[in-house]
Amino acid sequence: MSIEKFFKLKKLNSNIKTEVTSGILSYLTVAYIAIINPLILSKAGIPANDVFIATCITIAVSCLYIGIRTNLPIIIGPTSATNTYFLEGITNSFGIPWPQGLTISFISGILIFVLSKYKIRKIINEAIPDNLTSAIIYGIGLFLCIISLKFSGIFSANSEIANLVIDQLNFLIFFTTVITSLICKYYKIPAHTVLGIITATIIAVFINNTHVATVISMPSPIQASFFALTTENILNYKNMAALFAVTIIVLSDSNSSISLLMKSLHKNINNNCSKPIESIAVATVIGGVLGTSNSGIYLESISGINNGGKTGLTTCVTGLLFALTLFLSPLLQIIPSAATSAVLFIISLSILKNWSFFKSLSLIEKISACLIIVTIPIRFSIADGIGIGVISYTLLKILSGKIKKIKPTLYVMNIIFISFFIIKSSI
């Protein structure tokens, strides 16, 4: 069977050239994750090279899987939301060692796979209203903004707020990345984040007189993270709470992402939801085995869609390019952390600009939304924000006499989140 027939290009009014160029564009838009993921997860203790290899392989295999399985131009892989929660939530907040963290991700993938077979989107929608999901995404945007500044190296680690010490070189690199990316985005130049990183890296190389021996090499083998899964104490309350939290985060984020991308593709969300969720589960299982955090859907997939990509061929091209990225490790190692942190900052800005959802909320929803948005960055925990939002929303509904409008699944979520907070407070 030809590629054209397999991906139904004629039926969907597309062609190989458009799909390939859309796949390349999608790759350039999400390529930053190959740099950011090692930066963040290495702070959790996983060797950076292991994370880099695991990230590229996970995205490559997962994109081929979802492209062939769903014939949709949707890119999946480890996301900024899940890797920051792995660091700040699982390893820092819960104090869980990274091998157990990878095991939690692995089990989460299996759980999501099972749930994908039982109309999971409907269950999540009933448990967490769409308006609160928008607030969760907004809170994640604030969270990423703070994380980006924390990892940028701009401020001295020992500086107090009243007496901040600014690292001028890191500030220059961070500022250059942000400004270059935003200018390129304003003029609708593709791959604006990649161009921002390239510009800042060139400046850093000249200032530091960095010598680059080669830009291409054979990938180094994964040393520590491959199949680092462990069953030691995996069923204790702390690990179960972390498992619940990361699963809810992935499902909530994926739910909103799928909705947006399906609208862009003019497809029915109810008929095109379970297979992408299943693909996320497969990607998460692969990532857990190799050494990276949970996977999710990249909203940046919309760049390929807007370019005319309509089929899984777009996704497969992106996956193949991530496989080739494995050979660019020497080049990626010279990119300064301030530049990669700046990309997180840009992502947060793209999330924070979407404030319009707040206008349509009822008073109860506004109060719960505000609690979510404030709690996530203050508590440095996405799960805490979701829990506070769900519990406050339910209580306010009961107190306002609207108890009949509360779905049964929301009560279940309340019980689970209350148990989550009790377990967390005892740690």
Per-residue pLDDT tens digits for 49-61: 999 999 999 999 9
Which backbone phi and psi does 385 adopt, to 5 degrees?
A: -65, -45
CA within 13 Å, CB half, 404: 1
79-83, 88-92, 125-129: segment of lowest average pLDDT: 125-129
d(CA 321, CA 183): 26
- Write the pLDDT tens digit of every residue in 252-293: 888 878 888 888 888 776 666 788 999 999 999 999 999 999
Which structure tokens are listed for 414?
A: 């309340």
This prediction's pTM: 0.89
Residue pair 59/296 in contact by the 8 Å Cβ criterion: no
Q: Residues, the chain, total?
A: 427
Closest CA to 167 of 209, 204, 202, 194: 204
Identify the H or E element spanning 77. Answer: strand 76-78
Closest CA to 291 of 80, 90, 44: 44
d(CA 152, CA 310): 37
Residue 64 CA: distances (Å) to CA of 73, 104, 317, 361:
11, 24, 8, 39
Lookup result for tokens 């709690």? 375
pLDDT of residue 163: 52
d(CA 263, CA 427): 43
DSSP state of 163: B
Which structure tokens are listed for 324?
A: 């080739």
| Helix (H) and strand (E) counts in the chain | 19, 2
d(CA 104, CA 242): 7
Helix (H, G, I), strand (E, B) or coil at 76: strand
- Write the pLDDT tens digit of every residue in 311-342: 999 999 999 999 999 998 888 888 898 998 99
Residue pair 178/289 in contact by the 8 Å Cβ criterion: no
d(CA 58, CA 319): 9
pLDDT of residue 161: 47
Residue 162 pLDDT more than 50?
no
Which backbone phi and psi does 334 adopt, to 5 degrees?
A: -90, -5
Residue pair 333/211 in contact by the 8 Å Cβ criterion: no
Which backbone phi and psi does 276 adopt, to 5 degrees?
A: -60, -40
Share of the chain above pLDDT 70, in %: 94
d(CA 369, CA 126): 17
- Write the pLDDT tens digit of every residue in 175-219: 999 999 999 988 988 778 889 999 999 999 888 877 777 778 888
Degrees, nearest 5: CA angle 392-350-247: 45
Residue 407 pLDDT more than 70?
yes
E strand segments, 179-300: 295-297
Residue 24 CA: distances (Å) to CA of 66, 121, 230, 299, 319:
17, 30, 37, 16, 10
E strand segments, 251-379: 295-297
Domain positions in the chain: 6-425
